[in-house]
Structure formats: structure tokens, C-alpha cells
Structure 1
Amino acid sequence: MATRLGLGLPQNKQYSLGRDVPDVARAAEAMGYESLWVYERALFPVASTQGLYGIEGVPWPEGYRGVADPLVTLTLAAAATERARLGTSVLVAPLHVPFQLAKALASLDAAAGGRVVAGLGTGWSLDEYAAAAVRPFEERGRVLDEVIDVCRAVWGPDPVSYEGGLTRISPAVVSPKPARPIPVLLAATSKAARRRLVDKADGWMPVAMGAETLAAQWRELRELAAERGRALPLQTVLRANARYSAKPYDGPDRAPFRGSVDQIVQDLAAHAEVGLEEILVDLQSSTRDAEELKAVAEELYTAARAAGV
């Protein structure tokens, strides 16, 4: 069975939100992409207290200077498409009030006919937490736990009731309900996060760091699931942050998913061998505009399928 392929939607500053998101979404669905994805970046600090991913000295990408709201973006894509699943990779859960996030996702899924996939994470930016978080950075894992629990409650049968650290729902009718149970996927990089995934989530959403690294992480996750009595399979979606270039990248330090379409397809094939169900390719950071994004996405999809991915 071929690996499913998804495409990242154009959220970055070089794109026109109202024009380009529906256009790219419709085109990607017509090409054959089976899912469309958004990510969350709340702000771009002018003088950040930390580097990218919290790594000292690593600058934030220029594309982060203007990232459209993920749920607004996904709503535009939902209205423009009929079949493609609509995913978040990822929403930074502690930047959202749990009840409001649960209801927004339920409403979107109801409107889209049961196509939403909720990829959640805790994030890493202290600046984003200072601006928007519902609790301090140190409590991010606890907040993510509550977000998942509140979502399950709100998406479940009425009357809904819940008592938690942030949320109190007295027995109430909460609608609309999702068209079907929304799968919750987690990025889960730390040991604690992997335990949370196995115990509470429906699937895993890692970031591509090389096929060997991915294979080792997948093996460890399966072993942990067996230890904790979790029946597999989990749903699996790999995020591949691609850096496309018209010419092949010849440097000895070539990172996975960097280079020409042929090189990216080679990486797709290598990562597909690990056995995950789906790979999401995000090309938007390295294309000039929506027309180039669509052209590269179509070339990539055709080449990947021809290569057996």
C-alpha cells in the first residue's frame, strides 16, 4: 500500500491568505494529495530571548515573521475542498483555552464532514508563552493533558461535564459535535511526551530527522506501547519540512528533504520504508509564491508516485 501524501498550506508572509489558501488547497486535492496541513507560530520576536527550538544562536526563519492563524487557514481550506483531510501539525495546545479549542475543532469537523486531524504539541517559544499561554511554560505538559481531556469530553455525548485545573464544565449541552471522533496526534519527543502519547493519544506525528533516526524512534515507541499495554497500530504522520531548490544540493552536509525534487523524492522513499502511514511535505518556506508552490507540489507528487512512494 502506497504511503499517503499530504501538503502544507501556504501560511507564511509571502502568500495571500484569502486568495492563496483556497487556491492551493483545491489544486493539491486535484493533484491527489490526501491531506492538507497547517502549523502554528504565534509571533516573531524582534529580540528573542532564545533561538529556534530553544537552541542558543539558531535564528528564527524569516518566514516566521508572518504566519497566519492555523484554524482560520484550515477553515478556508475546508470550504474549498471535499475529500482531503485537514490537519494541524501542530497546534501549540497551551496557547489555547481548552474548551474554546475543543469547540472550534468540533465545529470545523462538523462543517467539513469529518475530515479534521488534531495534531497537538507543547511548543518551545518562551516569547509565545509570555504573550498567549494559559499557564506558565513549566506547566505545559499538564495543560496539554487537560486540553486532550477537555476535547474528549466536549466531543463526546451530552450532557458534558468536566472538572480540571483550568476548566470546569457543569453538565451542559455542547454542540455542534464532530462528524466523527477527531483523532488526536502528538509530536512527542521526550520520554514523558511519549508516555502521554501511548496513554492518551490516537497517533504519532514526528518531524523528519533522517530515516535511521525515525526508524529508531518508531521502534522505541512501539516497545513503550507494548510495555504499557497499548494495542497498535497508532495513526502515524511524518512531517517533512522541505527546502526545495531548482538545482540539486551537492554539499556534503545535505539535510533530509533539502534539494531538488528528485532529492526530496529519494528522501520520501527512504522515510516511507520505515512504515509510517503518511508523510506531510511542507514546501512553503522555499517557494516564492502560490504558483511556484503548486508547480513544485505537482512535480513532487507525480515523481513520488512514479518512484513507488
Structure 2
Amino acid sequence: MRIGFTLPQYGPVTNRPADITRFAAQAEELGADALWVGDRLMRPLEPTVGYGMTGPGPFPPEFGAVFDPFTALTLAASVTNRVRLGTNVLNAPFYSPLPLARTLTSIDRASGGRLVAGFGIGWSPDEFEAVGVPFAERGRRLDEILDVLDKAWTHEVVEHDGPQWKIPPSEIGHRPAERPPVQLGGFAPAALARIGRRADGWLAAGMLPGMLKAEYLKPPLAAIRQAAEDAGRDPSSIEVVLRVNPAKGVEAKEIAEATLAVHEEIGLAEAFVELCYIAPETDHALEVAEELLGLLR
């Protein structure tokens, strides 16, 4: 099982980009396998849907300041040589696919082919309203974005005629040396079916305390594997990457025990820990990362 961590991107570290490079370099030196970023635009003060999609409740205060995910990965790429650099998740419908392909290709090239492109459809109606994208269309947009990305990353001549975007036959020579892994998040039936049809991995998630359990992940994983089989794919080729979201005050020992218990039952390819709630300052985050690496190896 690979072990990863989130880069310092949320909250008090947002306006200190040097913390990103420092954390990235030291985390790699400590033995981390991957570094990840998320994608939030704002913290609505009266959200239509609250964090965790549980109703009109508040977003975490950490979301009041967020460093750009693309820039964070670029900074991390500049000071590391080995770790995978992933997005969990980019809210893909926020973006137009060709500029997105160019940006992600540049990060992949800058890192020597270490990009993991993780996408989701988002869940905040307020964010979609702010970017001018219809909330109800986000699933269809993700499907079309994935179509365009696949063409832009694997074809010398790119052509696309879809409901949202049209690309005349065009040369796009800025491509990854190899197509980056595409991983998708989600728990809804449509998301699970999409993962089974076309993703290289499932970006699963669990919260601590209480919600990081294999019993909650087994049914969606079974649905993904069935969808893969129905599509003529090898279900075992879809790796599971688990995002561990510990609440403030959760200790490293509890994180490690819960993660290893899930790994024992499911067989994770990777688990990575969101550090912004339990270690909002970079020095503390590095201490927690080192402790977790010792407990999870």
C-alpha cells in the first residue's frame, strides 16, 4: 500500500507557498509515495448544501482560503523526484477541457510523468452558480471532458464534436509521454458506473472518527467491479485510492489503525491522509506525516 499526504493548501498556510515546497521536499525525503491537492473555490457563508452534503450547514473554516491546485502541484514537482502528484479531486465541470488538458500535461511533463489526474463532479450548487455552470449538467460535462482529455493525450490530430464543446481537426503536440492515470471519485450509482466503465482507479473516501470502515466501501466497490465487467474490462485493474479525512483532534494511531483495517479487507493500492484539520501548520503536518509513515509501513 502506497502512503500519501495532502499538500499544505487550505487555511493559514494558503498565502505561504514556500510551505508547499518545503513540505513536498521533506515528505518525499521521509518516504511518502504521493502528494495530493483538492479543489475548492470559496466558502459560502450561507451555503445551499453544507459540507458533506448533509444540508445547509457551514463549510469548514479552512475552506475560507485555498491555494490553487495546479500551482501547488507545479511547486511540488519542482522540488521532488519520485512522489506521485495527484488531484483528489479536481471538480472537472468547472473547466473547459482543452485548457485543462494543456495545464495537466504541463504538470505531468514538469514532473517527469508523475501526474495522477483525479476528477469528480463537485457537490456545491453555490460553486457551480459562481462559475456559471449548470449544476444539473455536471455529470454529462465530466463525460465529455474525459472524452476530450483522452483525445488530447493520445492523438496527434484532435477532433471533437460534442454537445458542449467542438474542436476542429487540430494538431496538439503538447502531450504527456504516457497517458496519465485517470481516477474518479464518487459514491452515487452513476459515478460508480462511470468509474467501472472508464477509470483507472476509484478515489474512495472515509471520515474519522466513525466513518472509515470497510463495510461502507465494499458495496460501492462491488458496483464498480460489476460495471467494469459489464464493460468488458478487468475489474481488478481498477485500483482503490483511499482519502482519509480525520477531524480535528484525531490521533495518528487511530488514523493508522482504521486505515490498516480497511486495507486488510479491501486491499488498497494507496491511502493518503488529509492533514489540514489535524495539523494546519506545516511543521506539525510534517511531524504527523513522519509518525504515520512509521505506523503504516
TM-score category of the 2 structures, normalised to the smaller one: over 0.9
Partner of 2:242: 238
Q: Aligned pair 1:184/2:182, yes or no?
A: yes
* DSSP 3-state at the match of 1:113: coil
Is the Cα contact below 8 Å between 2:195 and 2:224 reproduced in 1?
no
Is the Cα contact below 8 Å between 1:185 and 1:202 reproduced in 2?
yes
Q: Report how far residue 243 of structure 1 moved.
A: 2.8
Deviates more, 1:236-245 or 1:175-184: 236-245
Partner of 1:262: 253
* DSSP 3-state at the match of 1:45: coil
1:297 to 268, 286, 289: 289
Is the Cα contact below 8 Å between 1:53 and 1:125 reproduced in 2?
no
* DSSP 3-state at the match of 1:117: strand
* DSSP 3-state at the match of 1:284: coil
Deviates more, 1:48-57 or 1:96-105: 48-57
TM-score (norm 2): 0.93
Q: Structure 2: where are the runs of 5+ without partners?
A: 207-211
Q: Measure, in 2, the Cα distance between the counterparts of 1:276 and 1:18.
A: 31
* Letter of the 1:64 counterpart: F
Partner of 1:173: 171
Partner of 2:41: 42
* Letter of the 1:99 counterpart: L
Residues 228-264 of structure 1 show CA distances to partners (whole Å, capped at 9, x for unaligned) of 322132122111112353xxxxxxxxxxxxx211111
TM-score (norm 1): 0.89
* Letter of the 1:261 counterpart: A
Partner of 1:156: 154
Partner of 1:213: 216
* DSSP 3-state at the match of 1:264: helix
* Letter of the 2:126 counterpart: D
Q: Report how far residue 270 of structure 1 moved.
A: 0.6
Q: Measure, in 1, the Cα distance between the counterparts of 2:231 and 2:164.
A: 28
Q: Measure, in 2, the Cα distance between the counterparts of 1:266 and 1:128.
A: 35
Q: Measure, in 2, the Cα distance between the counterparts of 1:93 and 1:20.
A: 26
Q: Measure, in 2, the Cα distance between the counterparts of 1:72 and 1:237.
A: 23
Partner of 1:113: 112
2:263 to 263, 269, 272: 272
* DSSP 3-state at the match of 1:189: coil
Residues 251-287 of structure 1 show CA distances to partners (whole Å, capped at 9, x for unaligned) of xxxxxxxx21111111111111111211111112221
Is the Cα contact below 8 Å between 2:182 and 2:201 reproduced in 1?
yes
Pairs within 5 Å for 1:21-32: 21-32=20-31
Is the Cα contact below 8 Å between 2:48 and 2:124 reproduced in 1?
no
Is the Cα contact below 8 Å between 1:85 and 1:116 reproduced in 2?
yes
Q: Report how far residue 95 of structure 1 moved.
A: 0.6
Q: Report how far residue 214 of structure 1 moved.
A: 1.5
Residues 17 and 173 of structure 1: CA distance in aligned 2, closer, same or farther (over 3 Å):
farther
Q: Structure 1: where are the runs of 5+ without partners?
A: 246-258
Q: Aligned pair 1:226/2:232, yes or no?
A: no
Partner of 2:95: 96
Q: Measure, in 2, the Cα distance between the counterparts of 1:36 and 1:167.
A: 32
Deviates more, 1:78-87 or 1:213-222: 213-222
Q: Report how far residue 169 of structure 1 moved.
A: 1.6
Q: Measure, in 1, the Cα distance between the counterparts of 2:240 and 2:110.
A: 24
* DSSP 3-state at the match of 1:87: strand
Is the Cα contact below 8 Å between 1:10 and 1:24 reproduced in 2?
yes
Is the Cα contact below 8 Å between 1:17 and 1:73 reproduced in 2?
no
Percent of paired sites with the same residue: 38
Q: Report how far residue 71 of structure 1 moved.
A: 0.8
Q: Measure, in 2, the Cα distance between the counterparts of 1:267 and 1:92.
A: 27
Is the Cα contact below 8 Å between 1:110 and 1:176 reproduced in 2?
no
What is the root-mean-square deviation of aligned Cα atoms in Å?
1.5
